[in-house]
Amino acid sequence: MAKLDNKKKSKPEDKLELAQAVARQSEKIAERYQAVGQFFGRVFRWFSAWFDRFVFNPKYAKLVAFAFAILVYLTFSQEDVDTVVQAKSLSSVQVNAIYNREMYEVEGIEEFVEVDVLGSYSDIIMVNAAEITAELDLRTLGEGTYQVDYIPVGVSSRVKATVQPATASVTIRRKETKTMALSYEFINQDKLGDQYVLGNVTLDSREVTISASAETLEQIAFVKALIDVSGKTSTFTQSAEIVAYNQNGEKLKNADVIPSAVAVTVEVSSPNKTVPIYTRFEGEIPNDQAIDTITMDHEAITIYGQQSVLDTIDEIVVYIPATTLSSGKLTHNITLPAGVKSGSVSKINIEVTLAELETRTYDNINIIYRGNVNGYKIRAVSEDDFTASITVTGTARNLDNFSADNVILYVNMRDVEIGDNQDLKLYIDDQYSLLKITPSKETIRVDIIE
């Protein structure tokens, strides 16, 4: 009974000792965790300090950038990205037809086709239309019409390429030869200076050989050497391309011209002539006024053109409306005669002064005969037709300087024929540009005797 009581008394003491032991053990564990945490903390702080010194040190900047580049490349070049299928359409892909060009002519070959490519993004972006061709292999085919598949060449094996259209309908014909005359044509004449004239052309050859099918040879109307005259200022020699044309002036691409070019020599000159500029006033000046003085900033002009055209021109006339004329300055454009390519002056500045109009009459001006190339004799039907009167109008200053001796009245006999009572037109030759001279008659009647 006494022993049982002792046991009951010992239980609270045992529990206390157990609790104390647990507490001590917990303190040890806590100290260990704290030590481990402090260790990892020191390691992290050391690594962080080292990382900062390495990454932000200029000495290692390139190395760090390279490492990041590798990381990015590895990130974006994985198979899951490459598996994305992309499509791309390439227009204007060059067609390359393979056949014996010396023996055969082929019709139906397109110059360019479209190619559709399909593949991974990284492969598609590397495809360039300029680096691939659509090939037509005709080497095993003879004369006839065929449907031939296009074969894309120059495309990566990782890319699927499809040509649109997939096939070409071609006609193959055997070539024949024909000799034809060679002419020439000037090109780029709009780029030749207006003051230059093209002269004689010398071709090294006047005949060429044409190689083409019989059908194409029948279409050829003429063969020309194309001579480029742009910017030429003197006689030149060049190699001119030779082209065959049909009747409509269209180039025949399937016709092979032998030789394909010819040496040509072209004479270039600059014929010119200097002639006076005159003014002619059309209509009547209002308010009984006449031109007293006139001055121009250019009294002569150098004109350019074919010599045969220049030989027919002795003056350039500027026509000015008189009905609106008043004293002062005016500007007029110069109109060049037909056949004249250019002139040294394009416009003239004129200064005009007006004064009161006066009229004077001069009698018994002798009529003479010009251009009597056939040596005919002339007999006036009336004695009055040997002379004529003239009426002269102008300002007092200009009339005072006028002399009837400087006026010539004449008829032109160059084209007359033998016969009686012929009316010949009367002309005036004078040197008074500021005076208006009018004869009393327009024609005279004469007999033409051999």
The helix (run of H) or strand (run of E) holding residue 160 is: strand 160-164
Range in 14-28, 107-121, 334-348, 424-438 the model is least confident about: 14-28
Is residue 66 scored above 70 in pLDDT? no
**What pLDDT does residue 416 have?**
86
Q: Cβ distance 155 to 132 under 8 Å?
A: yes
> Does 69 or 335 have the greater pLDDT score?
335
**Pairing outcome for strands 160-164 and 176-187:** unpaired
Q: How far apart are CA 420 and CA 446, in angstroms?
A: 7
Residue 175 burial (CB < 10 Å; 0-12/13-18/19+)?
buried
> Does 29 or 134 have the greater pLDDT score?
134
Q: Which of 272, 266, 267, 268 is nearest to 341 (CA)?
A: 272
Confidence (pTM):
0.57
**What pLDDT does residue 35 have?**
72
CATH code of 358-449, in short, is: 2.170.120.30
**What pLDDT does residue 19 have?**
63
Range in 12-21, 370-379, 383-392, 440-449 the model is least confident about: 12-21
CATH code of 176-269, in short, is: 2.170.120.40
The arrangement of strands across the sheet holding 419-425 comes to 377-380, 443-449, 419-425
CA atoms within a 13 Å half-sphere pointing along the CA-CB vector of 432 = 24
Q: How far apart are CA 157 and CA 20, in angstroms?
A: 80
Q: Which CATH superfamily is domain 272-355 in?
A: YbbR-like domain (2.170.120.40)
Domain boundaries along the sequence of the chain: 83-174, 176-269, 272-355, 358-449
Mean per-residue pLDDT of the chain = 86
> Does 405 or 12 have the greater pLDDT score?
405
**What pLDDT does residue 50 have?**
67
> Backbone phi, then psi, for 360, in 5-degree steps?
-135, 150
Q: How far apart are CA 257 and CA 385, in angstroms?
A: 72
CATH fold label, 83-174: RNA Polymerase Alpha Subunit; Chain A, domain 2 (2.170.120)
Residue range 286-296: mean pLDDT, rounded: 92
Q: How far apart are CA 131 and CA 129, in angstroms?
A: 5
DSSP 111-159: SEEEEEEEEEHHHHTT--GGG-EEEEE-TT--SEEEEEE-EEES--TTS
Residue range 322-344: mean pLDDT, rounded: 91
**What pLDDT does residue 239 have?**
97
Q: Read off the pLDDT of residues 166-187 as tens digits, 9 standing for 90 and up.
A: 999 999 999 999 999 999 999 9
Cα torsion 148, 153, 159, 164 to 10°: value is -40
Confidence band (pLDDT; 50, 70, 90) for 280?
A: confident
* Cα angle for residues 400, 405, 411 (degrees, 5° grid): 125
Confidence band (pLDDT; 50, 70, 90) for 219?
A: very high
**What pLDDT does residue 21 have?**
67
CA 103 and chain centroid, separation:
38
Q: How far apart are CA 228 and CA 303, in angstroms?
A: 25
SS3 of residue 248 by DSSP: coil
Fold equal for 83-174 and 358-449: yes
CA atoms within a 13 Å half-sphere pointing along the CA-CB vector of 236 = 15
Query: Which residue bears the tokens 């010992």?
Result: 10
